[in-house]
Amino acid sequence: PDRVIDTLLDEQSILGLGIGMAHNGFLPIPEIQFLAYLHNAEDQLRGEAATLPFFSNGQYTNPMVVRIAGLGYQKGFGGH
């Protein structure tokens, strides 16, 4: 029960929480519901998680795994 955290259905919040947990020694596995929603959280991945080791000169890292349902899971997206 302590391993799963319910969050808002907001991709930026989900990844922001994951980044914060990674900074505090956890290995978070945030999940984005559909691949089409990844663009909503792209800034968190590109601007925060991916650049932190560079801008901190290696002092901080982001040990995080992001799960995203791919195209095999979702059929007919576009008009949903």
- Structure token pair of residue 39: 């663009």
Residue 43 contacts residue 12 (beta carbons within 8 Å) = yes
> What's the structural domain count of the chain?
1
Q: Do the domain assignments include residue 79? A: no
Q: Do the domain assignments include residue 21? A: yes
At 17-36, the pLDDT tens digits run 999 999 898 999 999 888 87
Q: Do the domain assignments include residue 6? A: no
At 30-76, the pLDDT tens digits run 998 888 788 888 888 998 889 988 999 999 888 999 998 776 655 55
Quote the pTM value: 0.77
Question: For the chain, where are the alpha helices, taking DSSP H only?
Answer: 11-23, 42-43, 52-55
Q: Do the domain assignments include residue 74? A: no
- Give every CB contact of residue 9 below 8 A, 6+ residues apart in sequence: 33
The residue assigned the tokens 């998680």 is 49
Instruction: Say yes or no to pLDDT of 79 above 60.
Output: no
- Print the domain residue range for 50: 11-68
